[in-house]
Structure 1
Amino acid sequence: MGDQDAGSDGELGLRRQFPKHLLHQKLPAFNSWFYGLLMLCLLVFVVFLAFSDSTLSWSETFSLQRQYQRFFNQSIQVNTPAYLIPPKHRAFLNTMKEKTTPTPEGLQYHEAYPHNYRFVMDNPEVCKVNSPFLVLMVTVAPSNVAARDAIRATWGKDRVVQGETVLTLFVLGLDKRHDVEKLQQENQQHNDLIQSNFLDTYLNLTIKTMVIMDWLATRCPAAAYAMKVDSDMFLNVDNLVIMLKKPGIPQKNYLTGMLMWNRPVIRSKNSKWYVPEEMYPNPQYPTYTLGMGYVFSNDLPTKFVEVSKSIKPFNIEDAYIGMCIKKLGLSPTSPPDPSQFKAYNSKYDRCEFSKIITYILSSSEQLKNYWADYKKPGPHC
Structure 2
Amino acid sequence: MANFSLSRLHFQCCFILLGMSVVIYVIGTFFEGSKVWLNSFSMFQTANNHTLINVTHLTIYNETVNQQTSEAIHTEITTLSRDNLTDMLSTKSMTTVPVKEASSIQYHQAYPRNYRFIIDEPHKCDQEKPFLVLMVPVAPHELEARNAIRSTWGNESVVQNKTITVIFLLGLPGNEAEKQQEELKLESQRYHDVVQSDFMDTYINLTIKTTVIMDWLATHCPQASYAMKVDSDMFLNLENLMNMLLAPDTPKENYITGRVMWNIPVIRNTNSKWYVPKELYAEDYYPTYLLGMGYIFSNDLPEKIVEASKEITAFNIEDAYVGACVKRIGVSPSSPPNPSQFKDYFSGTYNREEFASVITTILQSPQQLITFWQDLKRPT
Q: TM-score with structure 2 length normalisation?
A: 0.76
Asked if 1:149 is matched to 2:151, the reply is no
Q: Is the 8 A contact 1:134 1:167 kept in 2?
A: yes
Instruction: State the SS of the aligned residue for 1:132.
Output: coil
Q: Which residue of 1 aligns with 2:327?
A: 326
Q: What is the distance in 1 between the residues matched to 2:100 and 2:144?
A: 36
User: How well do the aligned residues superpose, as a CA RMSD in angstroms?
Assistant: 2.2
Q: Which residue of 1 aligns with 2:351?
A: 349
Q: Which residue of 2 aligns with 1:134?
A: 132
User: CA deviation digits over 1:272-306, x for unaligned, max 9?
Assistant: 21111111111100100000000000000010011
Q: Which residue of 2 aligns with 1:78?
A: 46
Q: Which residue of 2 aligns with 1:361?
A: 363
Distance 1:164 1:80, change over 3 A: farther
Instruction: State the SS of the aligned residue for 1:257.
Output: strand
Q: What is the distance in 1 between the residues matched to 2:169 and 2:278?
A: 30
Q: Is the 8 A contact 1:237 1:357 kept in 2?
A: yes
**Matched AA of 1:304:** I
Distance 1:308 1:146, change over 3 A: same
Q: Percent identity?
A: 54
Q: What is the distance in 1 between the residues matched to 2:51 and 2:246?
A: 46
Tell me by how many angstroms 1:162 deviates.
1.5
- In the TM superposition, 1:32-181 aligns within 5 A as 73-79=41-47, 82=50, 85=53, 89-90=59-60, 91-92=75-76, 95-96=99-100, 98-100=102-104, 111-177=109-175, 178=177, 179-181=180-182
Q: Is the 8 A contact 2:98 2:104 kept in 1?
A: no
Q: What is the distance in 1 between the residues matched to 2:291 and 2:49?
A: 26
Tell me by how many angstroms 1:102 deviates.
6.0
Q: What is the distance in 1 between the residues matched to 2:110 and 2:242?
A: 30
Q: Which residue of 1 aligns with 2:290?
A: 289
User: CA deviation digits over 1:167-210, x for unaligned, max 9?
Assistant: 11100011232411111000000000010001111111011000
Q: What is the distance in 2 between the residues matched to 1:324 and 1:119?
A: 23
Instruction: State the SS of the aligned residue for 1:296.
Output: strand
User: CA deviation digits over 1:310-355, x for unaligned, max 9?
Assistant: 1111000110111011111111011111111111121210000000
Which range moves more in the overlay, 155-164 or 86-95? Answer: 86-95
- In the TM superposition, 1:222-261 aligns within 5 A as 222-261=223-262
Which range moves more in the overlay, 174-183 or 322-331? Answer: 174-183
Instruction: State the SS of the aligned residue for 1:166.
Output: strand
Distance 1:367 1:273, change over 3 A: same
Q: What is the distance in 2 between the residues matched to 1:191 and 1:151?
A: 14
Q: How many residues align?
A: 304
**Matched AA of 2:46:** V
**Matched AA of 2:59:** H
Which 4+ runs in 1 deviate beyond 6 A? none
Q: Is the 8 A contact 1:84 1:201 kept in 2?
A: no
Instruction: State the SS of the aligned residue for 2:227.
Output: strand
Instruction: State the SS of the aligned residue for 2:361.
Output: strand
User: CA deviation digits over 1:197-245, x for unaligned, max 9?
Assistant: 0111111101100000000000000000000111110111111111100
User: CA deviation digits over 1:26-57, x for unaligned, max 9?
Assistant: xxxxxxxxxxxxxxxxxxxxxxxxxxxxxxxx
Which range moves more in the overlay, 284-293 or 265-274? Answer: 265-274
Distance 1:184 1:304, change over 3 A: same
Higher helix share goes to which structure? 1
Asked if 1:200 is matched to 2:168, the reply is no
Q: What is the distance in 2 between the residues matched to 1:209 and 1:375?
A: 31
Distance 1:353 1:80, change over 3 A: farther
Q: Which residue of 2 aligns with 1:268?
A: 269
Instruction: State the SS of the aligned residue for 1:129.
Output: helix
Q: Which residue of 2 aligns with 1:183?
A: 184
Q: What is the distance in 1 between the residues matched to 2:305 and 2:116?
A: 17
Distance 1:267 1:240, change over 3 A: same
**Matched AA of 1:335:** P
Distance 1:101 1:344, change over 3 A: closer
The gaps in structure 1 that reach 5 residues or longer are 1-23, 25-68, 104-109
Tell me by how many angstroms 1:80 deviates.
7.8
Distance 1:169 1:144, change over 3 A: same
Distance 1:96 1:294, change over 3 A: farther
Q: Is the 8 A contact 1:361 1:367 kept in 2?
A: yes
Tell me by how many angstroms 1:267 deviates.
1.3
Tell me by how many angstroms 1:96 deviates.
4.6
